[in-house]
Chain A
Amino acid sequence: MTTRATLRTIVPISPFAAALRGLLDRTGLFTRAEWARVLGISTAALSQWVNDRTLPRAELLRQIVDIVRNADGVPPEPLADFEELSQQPADHVSPLGQRMLPNVSAYLRGGRLSQLGSELRKLTPSEQRSFLEDGSWPATATITVANTAPTAPDVQRRQEGMDIALLPPVERDTAHDGRRERLSWDTVLGAPRVVIQGGPGAGKTLVMRTLAKVLQESEGSTVKMVNAADLWGETSTSSVAEACESGPLCLLLDGLDEVGFEYRHVATREIAEAAQRFEGVRMIIATRPIPELPELQGFEWMSLAPLTDLQMVLWIEHMFHSANRFRAMEELELFLCQLAERESLRDNAKSPLFLSIATKLFETNAVTPFSETEILGEYLRVLLGGWGREKKVVRARKPWALPHKLLADLATLCFHLLAEERTEFNTADASRWLKCEAGDDGMMQLLPLLSIKSGVFRDIGEGRWRVMRQYFVSYLAAVHAVGRSADVIRRLRRLEQHDAVPDVFRLACGISDDATSLLRYMIHDYRESEAERSMLLFEALAQPIVAKQTVFEAAYAFALRWLDNTCARLRVVGTDEGDTVDRRALWKLRASGRLGGEDVREYLLRALRAIYRARSGPARDFLAEQLKSRCRLLAEFSGSMVVEGRLHIELHPGPRSDALSVSVVTPQLD
């Protein structure tokens, strides 16, 4: 059997860290703890290196390479990978690469005793200690981003632009096969007519400010950036033609979607005319997807892609450094750890706005990714209301467009989409589901407004709309279900057949002021197998939840009974307490009799993961206590829950069909 159920992590690592990980972990020479002893440092220091938190001193890195290079019988790939990478520009292979410039190979030629003084004197006393005791360059002094980007608050950063390496990736639609081609920002800067599309919070304004700054530096005062809403609207006093006449070589027009619906056709027509008339003026337009875009002839269409995993880490690091430089590393580790463990959240957190909101909530309210529903709620509140106010954009000056009303409408819409198992709908469907105060005319305005503000669905023409962000549909459906507590069970029953019900149920528990009835329903009434119900309960309970204590305990008791019964069929035939920080415990198991195939394995994995995730919350002590009195595997597993840090659970079949093993490991960041 070759299946290997592993939680992937969001947190990427740089090519350098991946290559270093290869030297340490894939050569079969030593465990991490042994490497640490050979090098005279801590295992924690090694973990920092291979996660791009710090950089190894040249002499220690050289020693690792020397050992691997001179070892017999090691696979050649890790060293070959490292050597290939060592010739590349260091700042391309590591976020801390400035320290190793021009390349890793040159870095390895350093590290002489005679250079120690000049290295040490640049560091603070605590950084010196880290340097000498952990063999690491502190990240705070070396991260390129931290050195080059402004360390001011987020707002100022948005105004001034970012390091271009932190901009979301840009892609070009290839018309023939629907695939997207990843482009460099240089390509965008060199194109004469470009439309950059991106959903809400994708980073369009940030991109425009950054491009303006880059162009300004290369082309001087001939760059002009204008908000589109200032050119078209009741109070506009200028026009795109006037903006071009003032003689810029490049005009950046931000927020075409922020132009009122009634002015958009005029706007696109005038832009197209100006593009023809002022041939020498380069134009870059940023907008959310709007139906009028095809009217812009002669423009190349590009889209902002989600941030890469590495960019996510850099973004978060950057925000933490800005906020509190001294506590940043510790806080960052906790934040990334929890984000990595919540797949649903991390896969949807790849936009600058989402990351910014999540990070701010953490900084100001200690809301961690453990509280997934808090972050989602805040994100949608910002999208539907706060952000428009911050950017001074008025899209619909109507009483029905109040943010809480928009949220309620959006939630209702999403609930019905799930209930009818649909991903597309038309205006008539929406009218049926929503009781729009503004009548049919209002509906014609409401849907475009919800679409443009939330990005949850988009106009696909002919009065039809398609869901774009399924994860938010689940959350919003849960908001609707919980909206009237008396109806919550009845509403959830309507979703029972839908694949998304586990997500909706879990999110509803997180949203609800009192999840007691939800838990009872899941224990007693939910028409699924005991295993499936147990899974739902484990996952729901692995988040902050408010419910009567007796029901909370009954929910755990129900789920644990299933787990205990399943684990009772498993005998622990070996343990490996582990000798590195990354491998906390491992149990080799043998099933007595038939275990039950892949489903049981999958359930077991899900249950253990959910239990493990619960260690971040107040249920940890209760749960750990419960597990102690169960079978040996669970009792021992409870011990691993005291471990803080970024840990994941792996479960993989053993060499025999009745064998499997469970380990708790740090995520593989590659």
Chain B
Amino acid sequence: MSQRIDPPVSAMAAATGCRVVDLDFVIVGGGILGTAVAAVASQADYRVLVLRMTDRGRPRADTLRNQGWLQSGVLYPMGIFKDEAEYRLLGTMTYFGGREMLARCGMEPSNERAVVRVRDPVRVREIEAKAKLLRLRSENFRRLDSADAQASLGALFERGSAYFLCPDCPFDEAAVLTHFRGEAVKNGAQFLEIDEPVKLLRRGDHIAICWDGITLDSPVTLITAGAGGLELLRQIECAVPAEIRQTPLLVHPNSCGVPVPILVDFERQFSLVKHPCTPADALVIGTKVHQQPVSFIAPEQRRVSKSDAASFRRFLHPHLEQSMQTGRFTAGFEVMPTATAGVTHLEPFVKTFDNVVFASPGRATLALQAAEKAFSATRAIVDARGRRRFEFVARSSRAWCDPIDMHYQPTYQFNDAEV
């Protein structure tokens, strides 16, 4: 087993054939944010080590357990915002931030459009008002006439409803993560894939990061472990004003004949996103079920209870109920800053505790913006220390170089449903 060894380590490591990692700081968590920070920091000539849980068997990164949806904001409930101005601002921020993130990765946002079903006249007025607030152009937002809606939705069409075309579109978060990792590795960032969650301990002015019997004394640590980050903070007696919300998703291994890329049903309170997969497109379905705060549970231990699954079914369109038989659940978690945090769950959230920085991207589409903020906060600590690099001998840990897949890809067969 390897451990932190006081200098001089390089010669010893070379003699034993181990890899010496020369570091400025350690990133715990290699989801979309941790990897983006690694990409940014390494390009600024900062040496980072990213510790991330393996995705073998099931993806641990919350990023990879998402619906994969670039949201325009028109579907955000107005109630979570302070006022219309904040709604307009954050809707614009997440959507155009996402488009820009894709552009920076050399990717084009999809031209596909989402369809939204609304029946309640109050909701119809509300969604039209929101589109107006967001200044959506008619080619991006318009009400479909009944015939068009029926043609678009087929069996999912329900009479007496209003249907709107929205600019929301699917996007492949795994591809973005792959791009970030590629840039980070190209510039010297190190990724270690580990099999169990790390534990953190305060040790003087360092943080001891422990896993697999290894201890890494880190002078400066950035925690980007999603919902797991709250648990890690608790271990070092820190806390951020945030809760965890479970967001169960149902993955169906084919499209069930759904013709649209995204369907959001405001009346039934479900949404589905269709992603291209081989051999068949996959559907990722979410509902309003179980959105209460929960305690942190490791991804492999999370379960969607039978009662929650039953509730989940009640939100679905009858045509999709069959998916409950053939689909499988992903129990995704989401970090939700509370009112005292000063930010919404859509925005980057960065907080510094002495030599530890906690960061959460908000919407994944703002990962790069969040990464630059998190890196700035972390480098401020590194620079204040005089930028003394420290060494770590990486022995018996493996580099993270597996292909990255979203949870709905056929690579995965796990099912978080309670048996």
- Asked whether, in the complex, the Cβ of B137 is within 8 Å of the Cβ of A125, the reply is no
> Would you call B175 an interface residue if the criterion is a C-beta within 8 Å of the partner chain's C-beta atoms?
no
| Separation of A72 and B134 alpha carbons in the complex (Å) | 8
Min CB distance B86 to A, Å, is 9
Given A117-B187, A133-B376, A66 and B348 contact (CB-CB distance below 8 Å): no
Q: Chain A's nearest CB lies how many Å from the CB of B97?
A: 7
Contacts of B376 in A (CB 8 A): 129, 132-133
CB of A128 within 8 A of CB of B44, answer yes
One of A67, A112, A116, A129 near B96 (C-beta < 8 A): A67
Closest chain-B Cβ to A58's Cβ sits at a distance in Å of 9
Q: Is B104 an interface residue (CB 8 A)?
A: yes
Residues of A within 8 A of B99 (CB): 63, 66
Chain B neighbourhood of A111, CB < 8 A = 103-104
Within 8 A of B (CB), among A84-139: 111-114, 116-117, 120-121, 125, 128-129, 132-133
Report if A40-B373 is in contact (Cβ < 8 Å); known contacts: A63-B96, A71-B135, A117-B187. yes
User: When A63-B100, A66-B100 are in contact, do A37 and B140 touch as well, CB less than 8 Å?
Assistant: no
Residues of A contacting B138 in the complex (Cβ-Cβ under 8 angstroms)? 72
The CA-CA distance from A72 to B97 in the complex, in Å, is 18
Decide if B89 touches A72 in the complex (CB within 8 Å): no
Contact B39–A113 (Cβ < 8 Å): yes
Partner of B348, one of A40, A73, A133: A40
In the assembled complex, the CB of B382 is this many whole angstroms from the nearest CB of chain A, namely: 10
Residue of B nearest to A69 (CB): B137
**Contacting residues, chain B, for A38 (C-beta < 8 A):** 89, 92-93, 96-97
B135:A37 contact, CB within 8 angstroms: no
B117 in the interface, Cβ–Cβ < 8 Å?
Answer: no
A40/B96 in contact, CB under 8 A: no
Report yes or no: B89 in contact with A113, Cβ–Cβ below 8 A. no
Contacts of B366 in A (CB 8 A): 40
Given A38-B89, A113-B39, A125-B383, A120-B140 contact (CB < 8 Å): no
Considering only residues 351-370 of chain B, those with a C-beta below 8 Å from chain A are 366, 368-369
Minimum CB–CB distance for A121 against chain B, Å: 6
B129 within 8 A of A: no
Chain A residues with CB under 8 A of B348: 40
B118-157 CB contact bits vs A (8 Å, 1 = yes)?
0000000000000000011110100000000000000000
B254 within 8 A of partner (CB): no
A113 to B105 Cα, complex, angstroms = 6
Chain B residues numbered 361-414 whose CB sits less than 8 Å from any CB in chain A: 366, 368-369, 372-373, 375-376, 379, 383
The 3 closest A-B CB pairs, nearest first, are A117-B43, A71-B135, A40-B369
> Do the beta carbons of B93 and A37 come within 8 Å of each other?
yes
Whether B221 is near chain A, meaning CB under 8 Å from some CB there, is no
Judge whether B135 and A74 touch: CB under 8 Å.
yes
Measured CB to CB, the closest approach of chain B to A523, in angstroms, equals: 49
- Please determine whether A112 and B106 come into contact, CB atoms closer than 8 angstroms: yes
Q: Is the CB of A132 within 8 A of B104?
A: no
Question: On chain A, which size bracket covers the interface?
Answer: 20 to 34
By a CB distance below 8 angstroms, the chain B residues around A622 are none
Q: Return chain B residues, CB-CB under 8 Å to A218.
A: none
CB distance from A31 to the nearest CB of B (A): 9
The B-contacting residues of A in range 232-270, CB under 8 angstroms, are none
Once the chains bind, are B372 and A132 in contact (CB under 8 Å)?
Answer: yes
Q: Indicate whether A659 reaches chain B with its CB closer than 8 angstroms.
A: no
Shortest CB–CB separation between residue A583 and chain B, in angstroms? 15
Is B45 an interface position by the 8 A CB rule?
yes
A62 within 8 A of B: yes
The 0/1 profile, CB within 8 Å of B marked 1, for residues 48-66 of chain A is 0000000000010011001
Docked Cα-Cα span, A129 to B138, in Å, equals: 40
Interface residues as binary, B87-109 with A (CB distance below 8 Å gives 1, 0 otherwise): 00100110011011001111000
B140 touching A113, Cβ below 8 Å: no
Instruction: Give the residue name and chain of the A residue nearest to B89 (CB).
Output: A34
Give the size of the chain B interface in residues (CB under 8 angstroms): 38
7 contacts between A and B (CB under 8 A): A37-B89, A63-B100, A71-B135, A74-B135, A113-B104, A132-B40, A132-B375
| Nearest residue, chain A, Cβ from B104 | A113
Q: Is A29 an interface residue (CB 8 A)?
A: yes
User: Which chain A residues lie closer than 8 Å to B137 at the CB level?
Assistant: 70-72
Cβ-defined partner of B135 (8 Å) among A34, A72, A116:
A72
Which of A62, A63, A74, A125 has the largest number of chain B CB atoms within 10 A? Answer: A63
* B183 sits at the interface (CB 8 A): yes
Please measure, in the bound complex, the distance between the C-alpha atom of A129 and the C-alpha atom of B42, giving whole angstroms.
14
Q: Other CB < 8 Å A-B pairs besides A40-B369, A121-B45, A132-B372, 16 of them?
A: A38-B89, A59-B103, A63-B99, A66-B96, A66-B99, A70-B140, A72-B138, A74-B135, A111-B103, A112-B103, A112-B104, A113-B368, A117-B44, A117-B187, A120-B45, A132-B44
For the complex, what is the distance from the CA of A29 to the CA of B369, rounded to whole Å?
Answer: 21
Residues of A within 8 A of B187 (CB): 117
A278 interfacial contact with B, CB 8 Å: no
User: CB within 8 A of A62: which of B45, B100, B180, B373?
Assistant: B100
Q: Taking CB as reference atom, which chain B residue is nearest A70?
A: B137
A63/B97 in contact, CB under 8 A? yes
| Nearest CB of chain B from residue A582's CB, rounded to whole Å | 18
B89 in contact with A40 (CB, 8 Å): no
Q: Is the interface of B mostly helix, strand, loop or mixed?
A: helix
| Structural contact, B103 and A62, CB atoms closer than 8 A | yes
Using A40-B372, A40-B373 as known contacts, say yes or no to A29 and B100 having CB atoms under 8 A apart.
no
> Which of chain A's residues 199-235 have a Cβ closer than 8 Å to chain B?
none
A116 with B97: CB separation less than 8 A: no
A residues in contact with B85, CB < 8 Å: 34
Q: Tell me the bound Cα distance from A132 to B41 in angstroms.
A: 10
Q: A132–B369 Cα gap in the complex (Å)?
A: 9
Bound Cα distance A59, B102 (Å): 11
Q: Which residues of A contact B274 (CB under 8 A)?
A: none
Q: Which residues of B contact A129 (CB under 8 A)?
A: 376, 379
Contact B180 A113 (CB under 8 A): yes
Q: Is A117 a contact partner of B42 (Cβ separation < 8 A)?
A: yes
Q: Does B275 contact A (CB under 8 A)?
A: no
Residues of B within 8 A of A37 (CB): 89, 93
Q: Does B179 belong to the interface (CB within 8 Å)?
A: yes
Whole-angstrom distance between the alpha carbons of A121 and B41 in the complex?
11
Q: Which residues of B, 36-89, contact A by the 8 Å Cβ criterion?
A: 39-40, 42-45, 85, 89
Which chain B residues lie closer than 8 Å to A117 at the CB level?
A: 42-44, 187
Closest to A28 in B: B135
Which B residues touch A73, using CB under 8 A? Answer: 135
B284 to chain A minimum Cβ distance, whole angstroms, is 26
Chain B residues within 8 Å of A125, by CB: 383
- Complex: how many Å from CA A114 to CA B372? 15
Q: Does B183 lie within 8 Å of A113, measured CB to CB?
A: yes
Q: Are A133 and B43 in contact (CB under 8 A)?
A: no
Could you say which of A29, A114, A121, A132 contacts B183, with CB atoms under 8 Å apart?
A: A114
Q: Which residues of A contact B97 (CB under 8 A)?
A: 38, 40, 63
With both chains docked as a complex, state the minimum distance between the C-beta of A665 and any C-beta of chain B, in angstroms: 20
Q: Give chain A nearest CB distance to B93 CB in angstroms.
A: 5
A212 to chain B, nearest CB (A): 44
Q: Contact partner of A120 among B44, B105, B373, CB < 8 A?
A: B44
Known contacts being A40-B373, A66-B96, A120-B45, is A59 close to B89, with CB within 8 Å? no
In the complex, A519→B80 CA distance in Å?
A: 61
Residue on B with the closest CB to A125? B383
Q: Chain A: which residue is nearest B109 at the CB level?
A: A66
Check if A59 sits within 8 Å of B100, measured CB to CB.
yes
Q: Which residues of chain A are near B105, meaning CB under 8 Å?
A: 112-113
Shortest C-beta distance, A27 to chain B (Å), equals: 9
Residue of A nearest to B188 (CB): A117
Q: Using Cβ atoms and an 8 Å threshold, which residues of chain A touch B180?
A: 113
Instruction: Give bound CA distance, A62 to B100, whole Å.
Output: 8
Asked whether B103 lies within 8 Å of A72 as measured between CB atoms, the reply is no
Query: Which chain B positions have C-beta within 8 A of A72?
Result: 135-138
A34 to B88, alpha carbons, bound, how many Å?
A: 10
Chain A residue, CB-CB nearest to B369: A40
- Mask, A535-550, CB within 8 Å of B = 1, is 0000000000000000
Of the listed residues A73, A113, A116, the one surrounded by the most CB atoms of chain B closer than 10 A to its CB is A113
